[in-house]
Structure 1
């Protein structure tokens, strides 16, 4: 009987811990920005909607577009795998932004009343840990 109780308790605890480690995209706001002297792009994702701005002064008319179920599910999978606490320590794989070879990019995540930010990296060359998420986010700007 004791063995059964220990086994049941172990299964219960492992399942409850499992649910806590996943990030929930439904309650998050993702902001990806990339800019140089002549280029600006900000992509905001919230509540299955995407908004794209190409005017750094904020004077452009923002239009939110619904993200398809397929794209949303893909984003959720990528977001769940990210360790938000490690975003600020991710190392950029390239340094083209230092000599105008690429736009300077950043990812900000607002999740559970806290903001997580990456250090700057090259637009088009994100750190490996967030590459799939960033690449997916950028597909929305290409559709426009």
Structure 2
């Protein structure tokens, strides 16, 4: 009987994790943005498409297809991230306050809710977001 209860509790705890219960499966869109006075950069990713926009001295806009494996890599890179907590993540630097870095943000849109990260310095995101942002930026490097 004790063994049955222990197994039941283990199953409930592992399957009912409120952190991201099926949230990563319901992600519809990632938006990475970096802005400062006079320039902005945006990467808007859905399961099928990536739109990159850069504005400043020159304007650039390009749309490319996202492969299934690329989307799955993005999803797997956030499996341990609490979407509810990304707005309170500790940022490692504050160069954006003095215009030494663009102000960057990450937005995760699911079927039910939109989650926006705290502002951080471009190139120096909160530790929990590093894997996802690195994958997003790696994808953008494949665009001509």
TM-score, normalized by length of structure 2? 0.79
Deviation sequence 1:92-139 (CA, Å, 0-9, x none):
211111122111101111113211111211111001111111111111
* Residue in 1 that maps onto 2:88: 89
Q: Does 1:79 align with 2:78?
A: yes
Q: Does 1:118 align with 2:104?
A: no
* Residue in 2 that maps onto 1:28: 28
Q: Does 1:102 align with 2:101?
A: yes
Count of equivalent residues? 140
In 2 relative to 1, CA 87–8 (structure 1 residues): closer, same or farther, beyond 3 Å?
closer
CA contact (8 A) 1:26 1:48 kept: no
RMSD over aligned Cα atoms: 2.6
CA drift at 1:18: 5.0
Q: Which moved more, 1:3-12 or 1:131-140?
A: 3-12
Higher strand share: 2
TM-score, normalized by length of structure 1? 0.79
**1:11-50 correspondence runs (5 A):** 11-17=10-16, 21-25=21-25, 27-50=27-50
CA distance in 2, matches of 1:61, 1:51: 7
| SS state at 1:109 partner | strand
Q: Which moved more, 1:7-16 or 1:37-46?
A: 7-16
Q: Which moved more, 1:21-30 or 1:73-82?
A: 21-30
- Structure 2, unmatched stretches of 5+, are none
CA distance in 1, matches of 2:73, 2:96: 29
CA drift at 1:34: 0.5
